[in-house]
Structure 1
Amino acid sequence: MAELVFFSGTMDCGKSTLALQMDHNHRARGRQGLIFTRLDRAGESVLSSRLGLATSAVEVSEDLDFWEVVVAQLTAGGKVDYLICDEAQFYTPEQVEQLARLVDELDIEVYAFGIMADFRTRLFPGSQRLVELADRTQVLQVAALCWCGARATHNARVVDGVMVNEGEQVVVGDTAAGQSEVDYEVLCRRHHTRRMSSRAAQAAAVSADVLPFDLDACPIPPRRSEFP
């Protein structure tokens, strides 16, 4: 039975790399699929990884209908075994419902990849609908790290070097500082809550006014065997 699977995680955890690898694995076994993405950092109609890998893809506009695209392909004599859907957090809830319909009615595998929450720690509408409808939601095991070394769980937006928590939900940027007007950084919950980005931490480290605990790395919980 086909499934709708949602692979989720913060930025820098390898979602797009996994999407490219899964497409390669399926094609190597003679299966045929379609690749979709929206607002990729590399530009329109491209699925790219920060490792430097990239492939062409169908750009998902707000009015794209996945059901119509796939049915048109099948009607023209094409074959569609699976869909790779990157940056799925930017899809509309209706588009996610179309993906679920393709799984249920046409038995087509759908692999969606995306961020769960935005820089304000609010769920993206597309991600929320995926969680509600997906047969499986999988958190990627490759852990992105906060500047303190703890596992990063939150995405932070940085504008002119300053972390912000207000603004439009969707603004394209990257985690490579200085590459665009808006940068993003992955942080642990503690430092996201305190708005302590890596740049803010560096500035505070040279300030005589900062208290020592303001820069403490997040404590690593003891192993179970270390409890009394």
Structure 2
Amino acid sequence: MTNRDRSGQSLVTSRIGLVADAVLIDDDTDVFALVEGFPSSRIDYVVCDEAQFMSVTQVDHLARIVDESGLDVFAYGLLTDFRSKLFDGAARLVEVADEMHRLQAVVLCWCGRTAFMNARIVDGVMVRTGDVVAVGDTADGPMQYRALCRRHFVAGREVSRARLWARIPCVL
């Protein structure tokens, strides 16, 4: 399932072009009832993308699915928004999850440090105000997101991709 995928459709999509069918939920979806409504022979586990956008109640539904249905639930999403504040859904996931793991893919800031802050860049300038949720494929538009280390997030410094590549030496 997904909530607010960038495609706006019943899909899980990635910026590199991967696409998978999904059940689209919204803020009013009873996630427990949704899963319970599927024939049990059709569900081996539940995968939730964009879990940060789930409500606290929906995250509690996920825990209930694990506890009452015996299904494993895998929830993927961001912890913090562009202001470095926890999303409500992410905060509740941290509170009730049996396990938490950062993805194995290491995302690096332009300086080479581990990047775990999500900077919103509007017309080339890092912003700290605005609607918390801005969904869509923003990779090439006036609004973009960049992963930064805490130091550069706090300082408000980001470097364009062109400058990033210029900083990486090529050693063969």
For residues 1-228 of structure 1, the aligned pairs below 5 Å read 36-74=1-39, 78-174=41-137, 176=139, 179-199=140-160
CA contact (8 A) 1:150 1:188 kept: yes
CA contact (8 A) 2:5 2:12 kept: yes
If the length of structure 1 is used for normalisation, what is the TM-score? 0.67
RMSD (CA atoms): 1.8
1:88 to 1:72, Cα distance in 2 relative to 1, 3 A: same
Structure 1 residue 43 displacement after superposition: 2.9
If the length of structure 2 is used for normalisation, what is the TM-score? 0.87
> SS of 1:73's equivalent?
coil
Q: Name stretches of at least 5 consecutive residues in structure 2 with no aligned partner.
A: 164-172
Q: In structure 1, how many angstroms separate the alpha carbons of the residues matched to 2:5 and 2:141? A: 14
CA contact (8 A) 1:173 1:182 kept: no
CA contact (8 A) 1:171 1:182 kept: no
Q: In structure 1, how many angstroms separate the alpha carbons of the residues matched to 2:91 and 2:137? A: 22
1:192 to 1:173, Cα distance in 2 relative to 1, 3 A: farther
Q: In structure 2, how many angstroms separate the alpha carbons of the residues matched to 1:150 and 1:50? A: 22
1:192 to 1:174, Cα distance in 2 relative to 1, 3 A: farther
- Count of residue pairs the alignment pairs up: 162
Q: Name stretches of at least 5 consecutive residues in structure 1 with no aligned partner.
A: 1-35, 203-228
CA contact (8 A) 1:46 1:59 kept: yes
Structure 1 residue 160 displacement after superposition: 1.1
- Runs of 4 or more consecutive aligned structure 1 residues displaced over 3 Å after TM superposition: none
Q: In structure 2, how many angstroms separate the alpha carbons of the residues matched to 1:116 and 1:141? A: 16
What amino acid is the match of 1:185?
R
Q: Deviations over 1:110-165 (max 9, x none)?
A: 00001001111100000000000000011112111111122112000011111001
Structure 1 residue 173 displacement after superposition: 4.5
Q: Deviations over 1:187-212 (max 9, x none)?
A: 1111110101114xx6xxxxxxxxxx
What amino acid is the match of 2:98?
D
Identity rate, percent: 47
> SS of 1:172's equivalent?
coil
CA contact (8 A) 2:6 2:136 kept: yes
CA contact (8 A) 1:103 1:109 kept: yes
Structure 1 residue 78 displacement after superposition: 4.5
Structure 1 residue 42 displacement after superposition: 2.8
Q: In structure 2, how many angstroms separate the alpha carbons of the residues matched to 1:188 and 1:120? A: 13
